[in-house]
Structure 1
């Protein structure tokens, strides 16, 4: 272990949240700071920041990437009263799991919606735009990213109350923002704990910002090729210029070195696939020296 850096000079105290977020705490190396990461946290390699927004409205838990309710602690009598007030007195649900948060209205009259229409060119006329609907998504909607959708509510109303509008029935499909909905007054959680730069446990308990991450060596490392965080990994190896004047070589993920590049395809069994990496990545991923690995060596004895 390395020796922790000396404490900050006397008199330098991070007093507001911005200063605390940028403060280099004693013992934390520079590599632990968010600005030194690959800057991808939705989901990401270090954390899935979407998890911090799931319980922003006290009493319900949203799915990390859309407006589906996955857990509910609202008392059944509160839900029943809301259903009666909305003119739906018969058979109110005991909880809101499976329902959707359609929109939020703040007390200054501003509506926040959580989906947007998907549009694209019409097959019969590429110059025309149509709503892109499917059987599973008949309204042609896509969820908005939480940090953008909820940030204004958090900035103005944390610690206060807003009106959340929930779908009357469970819904697997996304619903338009003007769909019939049942309003319930909801408390907005504080994002930080006690004026510190620590995310409140009401939003994310210990471990929850990382519990949904993939294993990067088996997933992102295979998928993201040379255009992303794994840009330092090999791609085109054992390259030689042929008599035709063209470069010839191997895809680093080829099981057998043939000198003929196999384009990346997640289903091509000539390449190392996800299951291969999960089972045996230590053997399959080979070192490169000067852009080459051992000539004639096969990574798959089969």
Structure 2
């Protein structure tokens, strides 16, 4: 699949550069506050946040659909206000809501989208896009006759019709089944391999954990963290060791007080928390002390923090 916009001039910049961005709606509602963000060529960037955090507002501003209050946004070096046409040609957007002409046929609506960006007809490219999205056999089908999952694929095809350098996916898996979600993940990976920069928002934390190179967390309109996914997991990830005791305890023994331990309300379970990538010698110390206190356990389990755990803790810490 070709990946460069049909009129692109090669430029060396972050693909997306957001500088001091603010958005204040009429009535004084502050939707975004002093957002700074650079997204680089060929990466998959996941933007996470609860409902109303500002994810869609940020995407819509970058894509030229919502006006910013102040700040600056560049798409491949083009200012989205002063060089709107050039900036918009760099970007493909798959919106959260499905909006397309129900009576149009798949081939026609995707080809029309390409023309909207001033690109010359390229049937070979449209065919490649439709084949990559498993839409080729549906090319002459009207949109109204497609399933919800197929309609979402058509929205992706429309976004790719003009060969954008940057692709925004706003909740791409909303309303699709697990099998289609997996297929979409594979498609996103192929696009990245061909040099397309992917920015996605998602409520499916496993989607970000599966695919993203970097993660941004937005809460109350503020970008509270941007980090490489693996570094984030190392920095904030925790492991838990759960010990199911043979005999319940009334209280936690003083000899264990210096360890990061909690005792369940029923007294029959000890939970030991430690850094996921730290030295695990603390487990040896714990088990040794349990033996010294004649505290026996019948089972033990370990669990490592997921990206979802980290995300929930970050949002709670930044209400």
Provide the TM-score with structure 1 as the length reference: 0.25
Which protein has the bigger helix share?
2
Structure with more relative contact order (C-alpha pairs < 8 Å, separation 6 or more) = 2
- Structure number with greater Rg is 1
Which protein has the bigger strand share?
2
Provide the TM-score with structure 2 as the length reference: 0.24
